[in-house]
Amino acid sequence: MGAGVGAARRRRGTAAGLFGTALLVAGTVLTSGGAYAQPAPTPGGHSTARAGGDQGDRDDQGRDDQGGQGEHDGRKGDQDRDKDKGRPRPGASPTRRAEPPAPGGGDPTAARPAPAAAAVLATAQTGPEAALPTTQGLQQALAAALADRNLGTVTLAVADAAGGQLLYGSGENTAATPASTTKLATCVAALSLVPGDTRLTTRVVKGTTPGSITLVGGGDPTLTALPADQVQIGGQPTDPDTAPASLDALARQTAAALKAAGTTTVTLDYDVSLYSGNPLHKFHDDDTNIAPVVPLMVDEGRVDPKSREEAPKRVADPAASAAEAFTGLLRAQGVTVEGRAKPAAAPAAADAPLLGRVDSPTIARLVERLLTTSDNQLAEAVARRAALAAHQPASFEGAAAAVTQELSKLGVPMAGVTLNDGSGLHTGNGIPPAVLVRLLALAASDQHPALRPVLTGLPVAGFTGTLAKRYGSASGAADAAGLIRAKTGSLSGVNTLAGTVVDADGRLLVFAVMTRSPALADSTRAAMDRIAARLATCGCH
């Protein structure tokens, strides 16, 4: 690390805490509203999180931003395509692992010092150690990076996290295809509408006829049929805050309740009335990493819940598959289930006698998970939860309307914004860079502490989630590793990056870079990373 960068990081270390709470980029994060513990990198090592090249070469083959595989990584789209293990459990020391050459060549496994705690404490305070960058300073600092031809058509916005003041922009009010940065809009709206401690409940109730029971989907795609010791997120075991609900636990509760009532033979219905509309995403196909969006599924609808494939095969009917799995688990508990499970003729009554229930992690934790891993399935579920809270239909259209409506209420300028889904797979989505930075500034605001998981869920440059394998030693952006947290986005010919960066004076900035380019996706991403890195290494006065 150069002396100038080292001095800049020392200046950052004098900065006060972020918005009255400690937001530690590379360690256990945030206290306001709960925290998802990011792994703490060790000196000379990286997190073992699966890497983040949003789409890899799939961009050039037309495979679009296909994030999220629930308990396992291996996403196409906003997740890299290697087979490494996921990130360590909170507090665990990551082990080093070999990485393929980073874009631009070189050895990304070369020792990189982990960012010190003081260096990644962002600040919203002004003063001689946290001066506000100027428009002219930013323009001069970014000129060379923005001239990279790999960016193609590029628009961007840079703003102060404290208050959201726009500091620099180029085409900042022009809508561009956001890809998975759409998830920022989804998550801000959802956390504004839904209390962060809300959990998604899957339950079993007595049916309307003697001996019948109904499995009621509550919109939790992370519900798992795997044994607890086999459940992983990002290749690592879960903890009590992140462990998904267990279908086996639900079967055990149900069997115990039935036996206590003297019943050992039942018929099973399943209720998917919570959602409405077409469950298939407009851009769904056999090679798209998203299942039909229904309120009852296990392991995000994967045929093999342990699959490490880039786009694991999905079942055609996730609800029926979940009911079939539940039938097998009930039988294992000594309950006879007659025939095959069938869709319920009518929604289960709200006051139907309860036989069992299991709950997902909180919405706050689910938001962090879907942003870190760019989980499309989970994003659509969270979007529908927002729709229900806004009294909109729980459909693609209803979710988009709910998000748009709530963002308007939050004061987000919605001119030019077009939303068609919650995940960003839809190529017809449009968001200007200025709107993305506004969303990030809202999440950083003391006035909206409920939105903080939007920041704590952002991948850490060079260490976690979809940024784990970027910002390597030969990338031209290595000095910014650990100082940037950002959501990635990728569709064919489209790459986006939006997040937070601590500048050389310790000022927390929010930024968004949106590109459309025929260049190789890796080359475009590397060019975007150098733009963000330039923000981290200058005071830009």
> Active-site residue numbers?
180, 183, 374
Q: Which two tokens stand for residue 520?
A: 């190789």
Rounded Cα distance, 377 and 382, in Å? 9
Q: Which of 356, 64, 61, 412 is nearest to 202 (CA)?
A: 356
Please report which residue ranges of 263-375 form alpha helices under DSSP H. 318-332, 363-373
Burial class (CB in 10 A: 0-12, 13-18, 19+), 263: middle
| Residue at 171: amino acid letter | G
- Check: CB of residue 321 under 8 Å from CB of residue 224: no
Q: How many residues does the chain have?
A: 541
- Check: CB of residue 102 under 8 Å from CB of residue 474: yes
Q: How far is CA 345 from the centre of its chain?
A: 35
- CB half-sphere exposure, 341, CA atoms < 13 A: 26
- Check: CB of residue 115 under 8 Å from CB of residue 481: yes
Sign of CA dihedral 276, 364, 287, 296: negative
Rounded Cα distance, 282 and 279, in Å? 9
The phi and psi torsions of 123 (rounded to 5 degrees) equal -130, 150
Rounded Cα distance, 185 and 533, in Å? 24
Q: Which of 362, 469, 359 is nearest to 86 (CA)?
A: 469
Beta bridge partners of residue 336, listed in sequence order:
265
Helices 182-193, 396-409: axis angle to 10 degrees equals 70
Cα end-to-end span (Å), the chain: 22
> Which residue in the block uniquely carries the two structure tokens 């979809």?
466
For β-strands 342-343 and 265-271, DSSP reports them as parallel
Burial 502-520 (b: 16+ CB within 10 A, else e): bbbbbbbbbbbbbbbbebe
- Check: CB of residue 103 under 8 Å from CB of residue 495: no
Rounded Cα distance, 456 and 187, in Å? 12
| Residue at 280: amino acid letter | L
**SS3 annotation, 359-396:** EEEEHHHHHHHHHHHCCHHHHHHHHHHHHHHCCCCCCH
- CB half-sphere exposure, 541, CA atoms < 13 A: 9
Rounded Cα distance, 78 and 55, in Å? 6
